[in-house]
Chains A and B, each alone.
Chain A
Protein backbone atom coordinates (compact mmCIF):
# COMPACT_ATOMS: atom_id res chain seq x y z
CA UNK A 1 0.00 0.00 0.00
CA UNK A 2 1.35 3.40 -0.91
CA UNK A 3 0.83 6.13 1.59
CA UNK A 4 2.05 8.30 4.38
CA UNK A 5 2.09 7.17 7.98
CA UNK A 6 2.45 8.98 11.26
CA UNK A 7 2.97 7.53 14.67
CA UNK A 8 1.77 7.52 17.29
CA UNK A 9 -1.84 8.66 16.85
CA UNK A 10 -1.98 10.07 20.39
CA UNK A 11 0.98 11.26 22.45
CA UNK A 12 1.11 12.59 25.97
CA UNK A 13 4.12 14.35 27.45
CA UNK A 14 5.03 16.36 30.49
CA UNK A 15 6.01 19.98 30.08
CA UNK A 16 9.75 20.45 29.62
CA UNK A 17 10.29 17.25 27.64
CA UNK A 18 11.25 17.10 23.99
CA UNK A 19 9.16 14.76 21.86
CA UNK A 20 9.69 13.44 18.33
CA UNK A 21 6.83 12.72 15.95
CA UNK A 22 7.37 10.21 13.19
CA UNK A 23 6.42 10.64 9.52
CA UNK A 24 7.16 8.09 6.80
CA UNK A 25 6.06 7.97 3.17
CA UNK A 26 6.51 5.40 0.42
CA UNK A 27 5.10 7.55 -2.37
CA UNK A 28 8.58 8.45 -3.65
CA UNK A 29 7.80 12.11 -3.06
CA UNK A 30 10.65 14.59 -2.84
CA UNK A 31 8.74 17.19 -0.80
CA UNK A 32 7.52 16.74 2.75
CA UNK A 33 5.78 19.12 5.13
CA UNK A 34 4.77 19.48 8.76
CA UNK A 35 1.64 21.39 9.71
CA UNK A 36 0.08 22.27 13.01
CA UNK A 37 -3.70 22.42 13.30
CA UNK A 38 -5.49 24.28 16.08
CA UNK A 39 -9.27 24.77 16.27
CA UNK A 40 -10.43 27.60 14.03
CA UNK A 41 -6.95 28.33 12.66
CA UNK A 42 -6.62 26.00 9.72
CA UNK A 43 -3.26 24.47 8.91
CA UNK A 44 -0.08 26.36 9.66
CA UNK A 45 3.23 25.32 8.11
CA UNK A 46 6.01 24.48 10.57
CA UNK A 47 8.82 23.14 8.35
CA UNK A 48 9.16 21.78 4.86
CA UNK A 49 11.72 19.91 2.84
CA UNK A 50 12.01 19.78 -0.93
CA UNK A 51 14.92 17.35 -1.05
CA UNK A 52 16.95 15.07 1.19
CA UNK A 53 19.34 16.80 3.60
CA UNK A 54 17.65 20.16 3.09
CA UNK A 55 14.74 21.82 4.86
CA UNK A 56 13.34 25.29 5.44
CA UNK A 57 11.37 27.01 8.17
CA UNK A 58 7.70 27.60 7.63
CA UNK A 59 5.51 30.21 9.26
CA UNK A 60 5.70 28.91 12.84
CA UNK A 61 9.07 27.11 13.16
CA UNK A 62 10.05 28.46 16.59
CA UNK A 63 10.32 25.66 19.15
CA UNK A 64 10.45 22.90 16.52
CA UNK A 65 13.23 21.07 14.70
CA UNK A 66 13.33 18.57 11.83
CA UNK A 67 15.73 16.36 9.93
CA UNK A 68 15.59 14.85 6.45
CA UNK A 69 18.28 12.17 6.29
CA UNK A 70 16.21 9.86 4.10
CA UNK A 71 13.72 10.60 1.34
CA UNK A 72 11.06 8.54 3.08
CA UNK A 73 11.32 10.07 6.52
CA UNK A 74 10.79 13.57 7.97
CA UNK A 75 10.62 13.45 11.79
CA UNK A 76 9.53 16.51 13.76
CA UNK A 77 10.85 17.27 17.24
CA UNK A 78 8.73 19.46 19.47
CA UNK A 79 11.17 20.99 21.92
CA UNK A 80 10.60 22.35 25.39
CA UNK A 81 11.03 25.84 23.88
CA UNK A 82 7.66 25.55 22.12
CA UNK A 83 5.35 27.62 24.31
CA UNK A 84 2.05 25.96 23.41
CA UNK A 85 2.79 22.51 22.00
CA UNK A 86 -0.60 20.86 22.52
CA UNK A 87 -2.07 20.51 19.02
CA UNK A 88 -2.86 18.17 16.15
CA UNK A 89 0.22 17.67 13.95
CA UNK A 90 -0.12 16.68 10.32
CA UNK A 91 2.61 15.50 8.00
CA UNK A 92 2.18 15.70 4.23
CA UNK A 93 4.16 14.89 1.11
CA UNK A 94 3.98 15.83 -2.54
CA UNK A 95 5.98 15.91 -5.71
CA UNK A 96 8.32 18.89 -5.66
CA UNK A 97 7.38 22.03 -7.56
CA UNK A 98 4.27 24.03 -8.22
CA UNK A 99 0.74 22.75 -8.48
CA UNK A 100 1.02 19.30 -6.94
CA UNK A 101 -1.51 18.00 -4.45
CA UNK A 102 -0.41 17.14 -0.96
CA UNK A 103 -1.05 13.76 0.61
CA UNK A 104 -1.60 13.87 4.35
CA UNK A 105 -0.87 11.35 7.04
CA UNK A 106 -3.47 10.50 9.71
CA UNK A 107 -1.95 12.98 12.17
CA UNK A 108 -0.62 12.85 15.73
CA UNK A 109 -2.53 14.51 18.54
CA UNK A 110 0.01 15.76 21.07
CA UNK A 111 -1.04 16.73 24.58
CA UNK A 112 1.49 18.36 26.89
CA UNK A 113 0.60 18.88 30.53
Chain B
Protein backbone atom coordinates (compact mmCIF):
# COMPACT_ATOMS: atom_id res chain seq x y z
CA UNK B 1 0.00 0.00 0.00
CA UNK B 2 0.94 3.64 -0.23
CA UNK B 3 3.35 4.86 2.42
CA UNK B 4 4.56 8.32 3.22
CA UNK B 5 7.51 8.46 5.58
CA UNK B 6 8.43 11.66 7.34
CA UNK B 7 11.65 12.49 9.20
CA UNK B 8 12.64 13.45 11.74
CA UNK B 9 9.87 12.48 14.15
CA UNK B 10 10.96 15.16 16.64
CA UNK B 11 13.13 18.26 16.34
CA UNK B 12 14.19 20.68 19.04
CA UNK B 13 15.75 23.96 17.89
CA UNK B 14 16.83 27.19 19.50
CA UNK B 15 14.75 30.15 18.46
CA UNK B 16 16.37 31.68 15.38
CA UNK B 17 17.74 28.39 14.06
CA UNK B 18 16.50 26.83 10.85
CA UNK B 19 14.36 23.69 10.66
CA UNK B 20 13.68 21.18 7.90
CA UNK B 21 11.34 18.19 7.70
CA UNK B 22 11.45 15.65 4.90
CA UNK B 23 8.73 13.55 3.36
CA UNK B 24 9.29 10.46 1.18
CA UNK B 25 6.71 8.43 -0.68
CA UNK B 26 6.99 4.86 -1.91
CA UNK B 27 5.00 5.82 -5.01
CA UNK B 28 4.90 8.75 -7.41
CA UNK B 29 2.48 11.38 -6.16
CA UNK B 30 0.07 13.55 -8.13
CA UNK B 31 0.30 16.23 -5.47
CA UNK B 32 1.47 16.76 -1.93
CA UNK B 33 -0.05 18.91 0.78
CA UNK B 34 1.42 20.23 4.02
CA UNK B 35 -0.49 20.81 7.24
CA UNK B 36 0.41 22.28 10.63
CA UNK B 37 -1.13 21.14 13.90
CA UNK B 38 -0.54 23.34 16.93
CA UNK B 39 -0.36 21.59 20.33
CA UNK B 40 -3.89 20.66 21.38
CA UNK B 41 -5.27 21.78 18.02
CA UNK B 42 -6.26 20.33 14.69
CA UNK B 43 -4.38 20.18 11.37
CA UNK B 44 -4.56 23.33 9.27
CA UNK B 45 -3.72 23.36 5.57
CA UNK B 46 -0.56 25.25 4.63
CA UNK B 47 0.08 24.61 0.95
CA UNK B 48 -0.18 22.20 -1.96
CA UNK B 49 2.53 21.34 -4.49
CA UNK B 50 1.63 19.79 -7.82
CA UNK B 51 4.46 20.22 -10.34
CA UNK B 52 7.72 18.32 -10.47
CA UNK B 53 10.51 20.40 -8.90
CA UNK B 54 8.06 23.01 -7.64
CA UNK B 55 9.20 25.45 -4.95
CA UNK B 56 6.78 27.67 -3.06
CA UNK B 57 7.43 30.17 -0.29
CA UNK B 58 5.26 31.53 2.49
CA UNK B 59 7.24 34.15 4.40
CA UNK B 60 9.87 32.11 6.29
CA UNK B 61 8.55 28.74 5.04
CA UNK B 62 9.88 27.14 1.85
CA UNK B 63 8.23 24.07 0.38
CA UNK B 64 9.79 21.87 -2.30
CA UNK B 65 8.47 18.99 -4.39
CA UNK B 66 11.07 16.62 -5.79
CA UNK B 67 11.75 16.14 -9.48
CA UNK B 68 10.43 12.57 -9.33
CA UNK B 69 7.38 13.68 -7.32
CA UNK B 70 8.20 11.15 -4.60
CA UNK B 71 9.65 13.45 -1.98
CA UNK B 72 9.07 16.86 -0.48
CA UNK B 73 10.52 19.13 2.16
CA UNK B 74 9.48 22.01 4.36
CA UNK B 75 12.18 24.42 5.51
CA UNK B 76 11.61 27.14 8.09
CA UNK B 77 14.19 29.92 8.29
CA UNK B 78 14.91 31.54 11.65
CA UNK B 79 12.31 29.71 13.70
CA UNK B 80 10.06 31.56 16.11
CA UNK B 81 8.07 30.26 19.07
CA UNK B 82 4.92 30.59 16.97
CA UNK B 83 6.29 27.84 14.69
CA UNK B 84 5.83 25.23 17.42
CA UNK B 85 3.63 22.32 16.39
CA UNK B 86 3.54 19.16 14.32
CA UNK B 87 4.01 19.43 10.59
CA UNK B 88 2.42 16.77 8.38
CA UNK B 89 2.85 16.07 4.73
CA UNK B 90 0.02 14.31 2.91
CA UNK B 91 0.40 12.74 -0.49
CA UNK B 92 -2.20 11.89 -3.06
CA UNK B 93 -2.01 9.57 -6.06
CA UNK B 94 -4.65 10.18 -8.71
CA UNK B 95 -8.14 10.28 -7.32
CA UNK B 96 -7.18 8.37 -4.20
CA UNK B 97 -7.47 9.84 -0.74
CA UNK B 98 -4.71 11.78 0.98
CA UNK B 99 -2.19 9.62 2.84
CA UNK B 100 -0.68 11.44 5.77
CA UNK B 101 2.90 11.14 6.93
CA UNK B 102 3.68 10.48 10.57
CA UNK B 103 4.51 14.13 11.20
CA UNK B 104 7.47 16.04 12.65
CA UNK B 105 6.96 17.63 16.03
CA UNK B 106 8.87 20.91 16.27
CA UNK B 107 9.82 22.43 19.61
CA UNK B 108 11.34 25.90 19.63
CA UNK B 109 13.39 26.83 22.69
CA UNK B 110 13.25 30.57 23.43
Residues of A within 8 A of B (CB): 33, 35, 40-45, 48, 58-59, 90, 92, 97-99, 101-107
Instruction: Report Cα–Cα, A11/B30, bound state, in Å.
Output: 38
Instruction: Report which of A48, A97, A103 forms a contact with B45, defined as CB distance below 8 A.
Output: A103
When distances are taken between beta carbons in the complex, the residues of chain A under 8 Å from B6 are 42
Q: B residues 47-81 with Cβ under 8 Å of A?
A: 48, 50
Instruction: Given the known inter-chain contacts A40-B9, A42-B100, A45-B97, please indicate yes or no for A99 contacting B45, CB distance below 8 A.
Output: no
Pair count A-B, CB < 8 A: 50
B98 contacts chain A at the CB level, 8 A cutoff = yes
B30-49 vs A, Cβ < 8 Å mask (1 yes, 0 no): 11010000000111110010
Instruction: Report which of A35, A45, A99, A107 forms a contact with B31, defined as CB distance below 8 A.
Output: A99
**Are B30 and A99 interface neighbours, CB within 8 A?**
yes
**Are A104 and B44 interface neighbours, CB within 8 A?**
yes
Closest to A43 in B: B100
When distances are taken between beta carbons in the complex, the residues of chain B under 8 Å from A35 are 100
